């Protein structure tokens, strides 16, 4: 039986672990230093908790790293230290939403073991099956060959950084569109034309974006560094960084609101647009 270690078992990490368990893998993680929410998500996904990251590394054939973008470098450092302490060399795949330049840094940190760059497009498979996992690097095929269910692994040509470059491009569209909706709806509410704006968007074939805005708000704290990673990627391509630095500022403001304190798996996604706008701006207790 293949054993997969999850370094990070939050909403997405636990969901991917569940998808591998569905395929017959043993999936282990550690909850040391993790939140009660992470412990709940890991338990609901059926992940096997071990005492420490060292214990995960000791038994894992492959380790998948799934953390918020701001934690990616620290997670790599923790994993490198566990590799040093145990002498083990599992295959490591970093699946975080980070710039190719950040991938280069992380690959250097984890130079002692084989490394695959990866990125995820779509939600956790426990919420909605069908996410794509893009993979690049010499052993990308090995990660794609894990017993995945409810997700679709896609191997890209090219080395580490390619899968993350794709993520930076697609996330700029998906999350950028939600940021545009968020700004438009907040501005419309301020000017008393929210219903009219939503009606006009619907006439143009853009369904009510309230649901996506609400869910995005719960992830505001992790989206800020992701937008910064996108800005860094675009700057490296010779393009202006200001656009996504601006989106980072939009979400930074949202982090102070009530919705930002909610969890994506439990927030009321059907709340009316006017309530959503109020809770975007209302300070959390």
One-character DSSP codes across 187-215 = HHHHTT-HHHHHHHHHHTT---THHHHHH
Residues 6+ apart with CB under 8 A from 35: none
In the chain, which residues fall in CATH 3.40.50.720? 3-159
Task: Please determine, for residue 144, whether its predicted confidence score (pLDDT) is greater than 70.
Answer: yes
Sheet holding 3-7, edge to edge: 48-50, 26-30, 3-7, 62-65, 91-94, 115-121, 131-136, 151-155
Q: CATH 1.10.1040.10 occupies which residues in the chain?
A: 165-281
CA-based nearest residue to 94, from 67, 54, 121 = 67
Class of domain 3-159: alpha beta
- The CATH fold of domain 165-281: 1.10.1040
pTM (2 d.p.): 0.94
Spell out where 45-174 has E strands. Answer: 48-50, 62-65, 91-94, 115-121, 131-136, 151-155
Average pLDDT, the chain: 96
Q: Encode pLDDT of 224-252 as tens digits.
A: 999 999 999 999 999 999 999 999 999 99
For 165-200, write each residue's pLDDT tens digit.
999 999 999 999 999 999 999 999 999 999 999 999
């Amino acid at each position: 039986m293949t054993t997969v270690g999850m370094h990070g078992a939050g909403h997405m990490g636990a969901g991917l672990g569940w998808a591998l368990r569905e395929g017959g893998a043993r999936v282990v993680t550690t909850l040391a230093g993790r939140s009660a929410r992470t412990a709940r998500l890991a338990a609901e996904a059926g992940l096997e908790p071990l005492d420490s990251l060292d214990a995960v590394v000791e038994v894992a054939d492959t380790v998948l790293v799934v953390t918020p973008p701001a934690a990616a470098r620290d997670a790599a450092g923790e994993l490198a230290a566990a590799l040093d302490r145990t002498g083990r060399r599992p295959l490591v795949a970093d699946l975080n939403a980070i710039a190719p330049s950040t991938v280069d840094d992380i690959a250097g940190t984890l130079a002692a073991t084989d490394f695959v760059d990866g990125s995820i497009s779509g939600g956790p498979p426990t919420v909605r099956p069908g996410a794509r996992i893009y993979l690049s690097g010499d052993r990308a095929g090995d990660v794609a060959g894990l017993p995945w269910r409810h997700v679709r692994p896609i191997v890209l040509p090219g080395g580490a950084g390619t899968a993350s470059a794709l993520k930076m491009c697609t996330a700029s569209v998906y999350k950028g569109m939600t940021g545009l909706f968020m700004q438009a709806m907040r501005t419309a509410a301020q000017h008393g034309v929210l219903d009219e704006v939503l009606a006009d968007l619907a006439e143009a074939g853009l369904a009510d974006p309230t649901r996506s805005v609400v869910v995005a708000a719960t992830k505001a704290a992790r989206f800020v560094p992701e937008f910064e990673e996108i800005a860094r990627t675009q700057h490296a391509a010779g393009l202006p960084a200001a656009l996504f630095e601006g989106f980072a500022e939009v979400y930074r403001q949202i982090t102070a609101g009530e919705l930002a304190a909610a969890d994506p798996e439990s927030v009321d996604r059907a709340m009316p647009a006017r309530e959503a706008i109020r809770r975007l701006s209302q300070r959390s207790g």
